[in-house]
């Protein structure tokens, strides 16, 4: 099978979140199953050096306002197709946001162009290579099935993957002509969504199959509480919706070989954790010997970090410590910096993102906190399991699917790998933190949980096989 992935980011080349990790890992797992996957992403400034070594496979005289080309290059075990369109992607700032922290005003055109090129590849624009299936990821690739349908030609099936339904790509209908969209599609049964063009709705209406990143999130999306206004559409397409759990790249995230760590370790002997903890304490100016919790996260209300702020005084009073790495909501950033000052030695905050430091935090911490109000899958809890850093998670989405709560039955059966809490509020989060601290005070119990966590399957093999099944179903249309 020839497969085309289309996404807005891909690790390790350009990353703002878990989407990039997935795009960077799944093609490798599928390759082991005989699937030839090519990954189409924009050639942002960070990967211009890589693009310079690429071979041109498509050229455009006018791609939504300027010349562009697609460059093929192999790197990091991936077969990449880089959309080199300087008028759209060669600019300073975040890949989605300008220097002012706001969305680029032409994001609609930028990602329409990405979708348009993905559709052209589906129609045979690359000599001697045409995909059998296109997997479009999130709203940035959502217009692919629309452009394919508008072509009037035979087209490959499209599978759309929802990584987070909160991000939908909604834009003014006055942009229809600019985006090269036929007005006949702008209807309630098509791409219209509450008076706007919705890239994600377009994908959900016109794709052959839909996947999302965990079985529980797939079920949650069918409800008004989680469907973000698209639950009715998804209920109508429930037979085409598949929840497939995310995995992680076991080579990149491996405590036995991770080059970013002070000391490597295994599930048999995790003594190396102590050296990593000491370095982590140094980096975050932490003292004491109580359990060390970490947070590696975007700082938004979705992630429930305001709930954690409420729990910090009790956590510190019980001897718990916290190292937080993240950025986002200015109010949350300010509050955690203030908490670090109030609880000096027990709470440390670093605003920003550092990939190497995130690895050290997984290796040096005892537990990782993920109190998300909703979480399609989550990857940091999987990294935690892999590194023996026990996850403390809200019972939602993929968090519920990947962590076995240390309740009495699970402890008796010797299967617990972390701590879940529900309902999702500060009281129950505080209770979960207390349970974690009590378990940490029992070294034999804690060590057993660490070993089980580190042996828990978190790779892509099983999930990649399920993706392959969905691709095969899509081809039966």
435/466 same-domain check: no
Of the two residues 16 and 56, the one the predictor is more confident about is 56
Q: How many domains does the chain contain in total?
A: 2
173-186 pLDDT, tens per residue? 999 999 999 999 99
427/342 same-domain check: yes
428 in a structural domain: yes
Q: What local confidence, expressed as pLDDT, does residue 370 receive?
A: 98
183/156 same-domain check: yes
- 118: domain range? 2-247+461-474
Beta strands in 20-113 (DSSP E): 36-42, 55-60, 68-75, 78-84
C-alpha to C-alpha distance for 210 and 137, rounded to whole angstroms: 10
Q: Is the pLDDT of residue 160 over 90?
A: yes
C-alpha to C-alpha distance for 195 and 193, rounded to whole angstroms: 5
Tokens matching residue 377? 């899958």
440-453 pLDDT, tens per residue? 999 999 999 999 99
Beta strands in 54-198 (DSSP E): 55-60, 68-75, 78-84, 133-137, 158-162, 170-171, 192-193, 196-198
Q: Which residues pair with 397 in a beta bridge?
A: none
253 in a structural domain: no
229/281 same-domain check: no
Tell me the binding residues: 15
Phi, psi of 371 (to 5 degrees): -90, 40
Tokens matching residue 276? 């990593």
Q: Which of 149, 183, 151, 141 is nearest to 41 (CA)?
A: 141
Phi, psi of 16 (to 5 degrees): -120, -15
- For the residues 16-42, what does the mean pLDDT come to? 95
Check if the beta carbon of residue 311 is closer than 8 Å to that of residue 428. Answer: no
436/465 same-domain check: no
297-350 pLDDT, tens per residue? 999 999 999 999 999 999 999 999 999 999 999 999 999 999 999 999 999 999
Tell me the binding residues for ADP-alpha-D-glucose: 15
User: DSSP string covering 349-385, please?
Assistant: EEES--HHHHHHHHHH-SEEEE--S--SS-SHHHHHH
Q: What local confidence, expressed as pLDDT, does residue 477 receive?
A: 77
107 in a structural domain: yes
Q: Is the pLDDT of residue 144 over 80?
A: yes
Which CATH number is 278's domain given? 3.40.50.2000
């Amino acid at each position: 099978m020839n497969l085309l992935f289309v996404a807005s980011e891909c690790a390790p080349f350009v990353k703002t979140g878990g989407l990039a990790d997935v795009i960077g890992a799944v093609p490798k797992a599928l390759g082991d199953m005989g699937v030839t996957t090519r990954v189409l992403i924009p050639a942002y400034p960070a990967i211009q050096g890589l693009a310079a070594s690429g071979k041109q496979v498509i050229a455009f005289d006018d791609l939504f306002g300027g010349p562009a080309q697609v460059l093929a290059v192999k790197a990091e075990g991936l077969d990449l197709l880089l959309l080199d369109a300087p008028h759209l992607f060669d600019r300073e700032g975040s890949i989605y946001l300008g220097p002012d922290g706001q969305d680029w005003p032409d994001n609609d055109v930028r990602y329409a162009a990405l979708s348009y090129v993905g559709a052209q590849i589906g129609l045979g624009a690359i000599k001697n290579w045409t995909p059998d299936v296109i997997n479009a990821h999130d709203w940035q690739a959502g217009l692919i099935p629309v452009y394919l349908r508008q072509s009037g030609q035979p087209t490959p099936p499209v599978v759309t993957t929802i990584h987070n339904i909160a991000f939908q790509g909604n834009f003014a209908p006055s942009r229809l002509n600019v985006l090269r969209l036929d007005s006949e599609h702008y209807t309630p049964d098509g791409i219209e969504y509450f008076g706007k063009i919705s890239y994600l709705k377009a994908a959900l209406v016109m794709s052959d199959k839909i996947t999302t990143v965990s079985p529980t999130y797939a079920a949650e999306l069918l409800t008004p509480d989680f469907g973000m206004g698209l639950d009715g559409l998804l209920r109508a397409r429930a037979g085409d919706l598949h929840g497939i759990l995310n995995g992680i790249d076991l080579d990149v995230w491996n405590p036995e070989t991770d080059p970013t760590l002070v000391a490597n370790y295994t599930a048999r002997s995790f003594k190396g954790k102590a050296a990593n903890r000491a370095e982590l304490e140094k980096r975050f100016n932490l003292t004491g010997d109580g359990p060390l919790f970490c947070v590696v996260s975007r700082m938004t209300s979705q992630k429930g970090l305001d709930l954690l702020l409420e729990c910090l005084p009790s956590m510190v009073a019980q001897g718990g410590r916290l190292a937080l790495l993240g950025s986002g909501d200015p109010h949350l950033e300010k509050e955690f910096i203030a908490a670090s000052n109030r609880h000096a030695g027990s709470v440390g905050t670093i605003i920003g993102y550092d990939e190497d430091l995130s690895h050290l935090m997984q290796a040096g911490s005892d537990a990782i906190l993920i109190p998300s109000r909703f979480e399609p899958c989550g990857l940091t809890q999987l990294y935690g399991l892999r590194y023996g850093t026990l996850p403390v998670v809200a019972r939602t989405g993929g968090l519920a699917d990947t962590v076995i709560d240390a309740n009495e039955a699970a402890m008796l059966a010797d299967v617990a790998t972390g701590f879940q809490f529900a309902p999702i509020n500060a009281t129950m989060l505080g209770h979960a933190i207390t349970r974690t601290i009590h378990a940490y005070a029992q070294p034999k119990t804690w060590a057993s949980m660490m070993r089980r966590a580190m042996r828990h399957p978190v790779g892509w093999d099983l999930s990649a096989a399920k993706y392959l099944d969905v691709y095969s179903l899509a081809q039966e249309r």
